[in-house]
């Protein structure tokens, strides 16, 4: 039975790796999801082949699996595409909670507590708790709650004290094993998850989600060692490694440091950078339509404002109308546009935008010099030239979409309010920029009407 179980785990591990490979390309991403799904089913089924499994509660286990599958399927089907980041954070948090509970239950249940098991259970319990509470708070922030939370030295000191406390309790747990010490680790980990994420601003949630995802994977892998489950070890390692890589890439894209994420040392920025402001130039919907229709090349830059207004379908319609008039249209995707990595890709995919028209920052930046019009739909910090030109700006050093090199810029925005970084956008005052104020969805509908009349 154990040999058969390990064979099943080996197959599931292969399918996990193959699924990730397929997910690396938008064309095969759906296939990757299906392959990974099959791998997970195999891993769950073959867990019952463990020689120590007590099937006395089989009905209860099957009921939990069915209930969880039903709830997960319902949420996945009913969630709006604009709320996908919240869903990812929620699922990640549930994974962390499950792993933490497995560690606690196994600790109470196991009769022979060796040092390796104690260390594995303690570590996975604490990290899983951090991931659960942190992910739930991140989800709340994505819903717009706690938006005014700020970083402070007091919170940093408190977080440092929590980390030291967790380490001390962990050492005591190894020396004098006690399930109550493990529960204390669980509570301390949850407290650290809250206080660590609380000072972080909404703009930095992509990095936070990626980091918490890595934590969940790490906790799952260590828990796999604790209960001798190779499927958990492999899948947890894959999630932990990919989450860590993604965290580093996201931090780099936002000019942040991973250590700053861990200690809660970044978030909403209070300071503003000084620069010489020019005059704001507005443009009407009719003039914007004319400018777009008589261009040879247009690049659309989607941002969180597009997501909030749920305007991705209108953006796609404008793309199709312009292409019928012979205009070349491309999309510029910044790695941290929106609330999570790939947020804009998901929204545009929902609107049936051809993936071949989506260009990453490194590929599209050289093309802005030959672009007639850049249409910015609700983006802000990711196009702010201060990141390149102003050493005093908090954004300085952050890679951006270099839209200021285009011939003309139409900036769609509700107002002149700064982005999440809290600094004014120098692009507003660029001589090439024309501001088109209003709700993105409603303004785009008017723009579509004008384009059709030309």
The residues annotated as belonging to the active site are 381
Burial of 308 (0-12, 13-18, 19+ CB in 10 A): middle
DSSP state, 219?
H
Query: What Rg value do the Cα atoms of the chain yield, rounded?
Result: 25
Burial of 388 (0-12, 13-18, 19+ CB in 10 A): middle
Contact (CB, 8 A) for 335 and 249 = yes
What stretch of H or E contains 55? none
CA-based nearest residue to 182, from 111, 112, 121, 99: 121
Q: How many other CB atoms are found less than 10 A from the CB of residue 450? A: 18
CA–CA dist 346, 343 (Å, integer)? 5
CA–CA dist 190, 205 (Å, integer)? 18
Backbone angles phi, psi at 293, to 5 degrees: -70, -30
Contact (CB, 8 A) for 231 and 47 = yes
Edge-to-edge strand order for the sheet containing 358-360?
A: 358-360, 328-333, 297-302, 373-377, 408-413, 433-437
Residue count (the chain): 454
CA-based nearest residue to 137, from 199, 77, 186: 199
Contact (CB, 8 A) for 307 and 333 = no
Q: How many CA atoms lie within 13 A of 85 on its CB side?
A: 32
CA–CA dist 42, 338 (Å, integer)? 35
Please report, for residues 5, 218, 226, 299, the alpha-carbon distance to residue 100 in angstroms, rounded to integers and kept in the order given. Answer: 24, 12, 12, 46
Q: How many CA atoms lie within 13 A of 120 on its CB side?
A: 21
Contact (CB, 8 A) for 434 and 410 = yes
């Amino acid at each position: 039975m154990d040999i058969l179980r390990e064979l099943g785990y080996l197959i599931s591990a292969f399918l996990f790796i193959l699924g990730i490979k397929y997910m690396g390309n938008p064309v095969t991403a759906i296939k990757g999801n299906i392959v990974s799904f099959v791998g997970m089913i195999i891993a769950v089924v073959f867990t019952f082949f463990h020689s120590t499994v007590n099937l006395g509660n089989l009905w209860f286990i099957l009921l939990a699996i069915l209930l969880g599958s039903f709830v997960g399927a319902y949420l996945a089907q009913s969630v709006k595409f604009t709320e996908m980041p919240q869903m990812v954070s929620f699922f990640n948090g549930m994974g962390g909670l499950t792993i933490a509970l497995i560690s606690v239950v196994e600790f109470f249940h196991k009769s022979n507590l060796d040092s390796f098991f104690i260390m594995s259970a303690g570590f996975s319990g604490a990290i899983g708790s951090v991931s659960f509470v942190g992910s739930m708070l991140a989800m709340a922030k994505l819903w717009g709650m706690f938006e005014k939370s700020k970083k402070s030295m007091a919170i940093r000191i408190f977080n440092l004290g929590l980390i030291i406390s967790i380490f001390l309790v962990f050492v005591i747990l190894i020396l004098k094993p006690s399930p109550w010490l493990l529960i204390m680790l669980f509570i301390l980990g949850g407290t650290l998850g809250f206080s660590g994420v609380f000072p972080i601003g909404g703009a930095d949630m992509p990095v936070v989600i990626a980091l918490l995802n890595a934590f969940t994977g790490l906790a799952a892998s260590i828990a796999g060692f604790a209960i001798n489950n190779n499927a958990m070890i492999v899948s947890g390692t894959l999630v932990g490694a990919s989450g860590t890589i993604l965290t580093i890439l996201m931090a780099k894209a936002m000019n942040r440091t991973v250590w700053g994420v861990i200690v809660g040392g970044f978030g909403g920025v209070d300071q503003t950078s000084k620069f010489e402001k020019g005059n704001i130039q507005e443009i009407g919907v009719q003039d914007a339509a004319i400018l777009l229709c008589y261009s040879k090349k247009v690049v659309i830059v989607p941002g969180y404002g597009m997501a909030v207004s749920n305007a991705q379908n209108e953006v796609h319609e404008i793309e199709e109308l312009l292409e019928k008039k012979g205009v070349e249209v491309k999309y510029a995707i910044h790695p941290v546009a929106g609330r999570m990595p790939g947020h804009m890709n998901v929204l545009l995919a929902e609107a049936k935008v051809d993936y071949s028209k989506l260009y990453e920052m490194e590929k599209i930046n050289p093309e802005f010099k030959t672009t007639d019009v850049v249409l910015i739909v609700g983006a802000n910090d990711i196009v702010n030239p201060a990141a390149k030109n102003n050493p005093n700006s908090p954004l300085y050093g952050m890679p951006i979409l270099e839209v200021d090199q285009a011939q003309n810029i139409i900036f769609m925005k509700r107002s002149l309010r700064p982005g999440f970084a809290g600094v004014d956008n120098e692009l507003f005052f660029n001589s090439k920029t024309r501001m088109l104020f209003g709700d993105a969805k409603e303004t785009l509908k008017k723009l579509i009407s004008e384009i059709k009349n030309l």
